[in-house]
């Protein structure tokens, strides 16, 4: 830790300098070492911090008195810490810079963060079971490879703007009328480039095509957004790059749909298959499943196949495949078939008359509670 700083020597003024002399000295040095006039020059930036810290102390009567009597260590003992960053200086002396240069060089004028980019990636429903590595192609602004994002030939450097004289603003006066506006040539920076970069034409950025690979985990839901840090638009003048936001979209499947991590499948079973307890083969993702349909199946009943659904986020569990059964009745049967069915119904003792079922609220609640505890035959049927 530095224990001594000669603030008077830093500003180049005597110890008995007046406030006006201190102010003039700081203005001269601030103009010389200002970061906007020395882009990318770390030595100039450190010098700008140093003179600003000196001015912060010597322009304040209380701090100056402590410094004169107790030195730099005395300031530290009173909690003085100086400036941590350039932005602290701009915030502290914004009014002073307005007086010096005719405009306030805020940090955002010097350093600009890149914008975020949003795009979409599409997955097939089948991709949700194992995840997928997708290629994402998009356009973004990147730092110019010729000038490194500076916007000008660094070897030839910059100079004070010839239009505004380094103030960043132009003032127009006619009689009693006075108009001040941002300098159109230097855009308020107070400097101009000796030679503009021919590639980016002074912008510091070029439009480029970007392609990257992103791993989409299994089980992701439609509409999920992933953030890829630093893959957005490039920043300017040391600003950080933006981020890329990917929204995952899932294409609808012809016959599969999801609820959470469970996958549903509506299966229409022919009447004869339901009556004869036939085994039905159904295509499912990358395999075929065989399901035996016992007789007596009722419309809307479900068969649950454990562990055949989608994986959870942590990958430790999987949902179930739930097959919703619907018995498909023939729309038209012959007279002969009708007679055979009547004969069969009589022999088997099937009910042949429609009946109204009277349900009161209490019995309905009891029925539902019982169903939840035990479930129907099909609900209890599990394929493992």
Give me 189's structure tokens: 């920076």
User: What local confidence, expressed as pLDDT, does residue 204 receive?
Assistant: 87
User: What local confidence, expressed as pLDDT, does residue 264 receive?
Assistant: 96
pLDDT in tens, 352-376: 666 676 656 555 555 555 444 444 4
Better pLDDT: 307 or 194: 307
DSSP secondary structure letter of residue 336: H
User: What local confidence, expressed as pLDDT, does residue 293 receive?
Assistant: 84
- pLDDT of residue 379 exceeding 70: no
* Sign of the CA dihedral running 375, 376, 380, 383: negative
123 vs 102: CA distance, rounded Å: 55
The alpha-helical segments, DSSP class H, found in 2-93 are 7-11, 19-33, 42-58, 61-77, 86-92
Average pLDDT of span 92-105: 56
CA 262 to each of CA 129, 256, 281, 308: distance values in angstroms, whole numbers, following the listed order: 11, 10, 20, 8
User: What local confidence, expressed as pLDDT, does residue 3 receive?
Assistant: 59
Mean pLDDT of the chain: 81
Task: Characterize the bridge pairing of strands 262-270 and 321-328.
Answer: parallel
- pLDDT of residue 336 exceeding 80: yes
CB 132 within 8 A of CB 217: no
Better pLDDT: 160 or 308: 308
Average pLDDT of span 165-177: 72
Domain with CATH 2.60.260.20 in the chain: 113-145+198-252, 260-383
Radius of gyration for the alpha carbons in the chain, expressed in angstroms and rounded: 39
- pLDDT of residue 76 exceeding 60: yes
pLDDT bracket for residue 196 (50, 70, 90): confident
Which is the CATH superfamily of the domain at 113-145+198-252?
Answer: Urease metallochaperone UreE, N-terminal domain (2.60.260.20)
Domain with CATH 1.10.287.110 in the chain: 7-110
CA 367 to each of CA 355, 372, 375: distance values in angstroms, whole numbers, following the listed order: 19, 9, 10
State percent of the chain over pLDDT 90: 33
CB 57 within 8 A of CB 7: yes
How open is the CA angle 71-44-63, to the nearest 5 degrees?
A: 25
At residue 106, what are phi and psi to the nearest 5 degrees? Answer: -65, 160
CB 109 within 8 A of CB 189: yes
291 vs 55: CA distance, rounded Å: 84
For tokens 């975020």, the residue is 116
CATH fold, domain 260-383, is: HSP40/DNAj peptide-binding domain (2.60.260)
User: What local confidence, expressed as pLDDT, does residue 103 receive?
Assistant: 47
Residue 211 has a CB neighbour count (10 Å cut-off) of 8
For tokens 């809307």, the residue is 300
Give me 38's structure tokens: 């020395």
DSSP secondary structure letter of residue 265: E
DSSP string, 181-221: EE-TTTTTSSEEESSB-TTTTTSSEEEEEEEEEEEEPTTPP
118 vs 226: CA distance, rounded Å: 10
Q: What is the pTM of this model?
A: 0.57
Give me 154's structure tokens: 């660094």
243 vs 138: CA distance, rounded Å: 13
User: What local confidence, expressed as pLDDT, does residue 260 receive?
Assistant: 94
108 vs 51: CA distance, rounded Å: 21
Among residues 297, 296, 321, 293, the alpha carbon closest in space to that of 307 is found at: 321
CB 115 within 8 A of CB 160: no
Among residues 338, 140, 337, 110, the alpha carbon closest in space to that of 233 is found at: 140
Q: What is the largest CA-CA distance in the chain?
A: 124
Among residues 255, 19, 40, the alpha carbon closest in space to that of 147 is found at: 40
pLDDT bracket for residue 189 (50, 70, 90): confident
Is 7-110 a domain of CATH 3.40.50.2300? no
pLDDT in tens, 7-56: 999 999 999 999 999 999 988 898 888 876 777 788 888 898 899 888 98
100 vs 24: CA distance, rounded Å: 9
């Amino acid at each position: 830790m530095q224990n001594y700083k000669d603030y008077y020597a830093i500003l180049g003024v005597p110890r008995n300098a007046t406030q006006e002399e201190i102010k003039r000295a700081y203005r001269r040095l601030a103009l010389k070492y200002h970061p906007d006039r020395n882009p990318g020059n770390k030595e100039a930036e450190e010098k700008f911090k140093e003179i600003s810290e000196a001015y912060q102390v010597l322009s304040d009567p209380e701090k100056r008195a402590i410094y004169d009597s107790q030195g730099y260590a005395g300031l530290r003992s009173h909690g003085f810490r100086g400036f941590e960053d350039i932005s602290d200086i701009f915030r502290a002396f914004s009014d002073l810079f307005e007086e010096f240069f005719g405009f306030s060089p805020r940090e955002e004028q010097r350093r600009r963060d890149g914008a975020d980019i949003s795009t979409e990636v599409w997955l097939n429903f089948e991709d949700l079971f194992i995840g997928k590595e997708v290629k994402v192609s998009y356009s973004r602004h990147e730092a110019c490879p010729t000038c490194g994002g500076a916007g000008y030939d660094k070897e030839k450097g910059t100079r004070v703007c010839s239009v505004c004289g380094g103030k960043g603003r132009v003032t127009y006066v006619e009689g009693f009328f006075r108009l001040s506006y941002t300098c159109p040539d230097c855009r308020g920076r107070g400097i101009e480039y000796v030679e503009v970069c021919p590639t980016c034409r002074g912008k510091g950025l070029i439009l480029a095509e970007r392609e990257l690979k992103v791993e989409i985990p299994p089980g992701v839901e439609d509409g999920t957004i992933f953030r890829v840090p630093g893959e957005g638009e490039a920043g300017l003048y040391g600003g950080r790059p933006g981020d890329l936001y990917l929204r995952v979209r899932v294409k609808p499947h012809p016959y599969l749909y999801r609820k959470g991590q469970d996958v549903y499948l509506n299966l229409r079973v022919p009447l004869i298959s339901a009556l004869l307890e036939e085994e039905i083969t159904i295509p499912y993702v990358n395999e075929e499943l065989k399901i035996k349909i016992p007789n007596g199946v009722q419309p809307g009943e479900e068969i649950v196949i454990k562990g055949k659904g989608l994986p959870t986020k942590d990958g430790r569990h999987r949902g179930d495949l739930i097959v919703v059964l619907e018995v498909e009745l023939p729309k038209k049967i012959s007279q002969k078939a009708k007679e055979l069915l009547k004969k069969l119904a009589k022999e088997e003792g099937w009910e042949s008359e429609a009946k109204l079922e009277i349900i009161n609220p209490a019995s309905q609640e009891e029925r539902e509670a019982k169903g939840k505890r035990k479930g129907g035959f099909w609900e209890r049927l599990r394929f493992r």
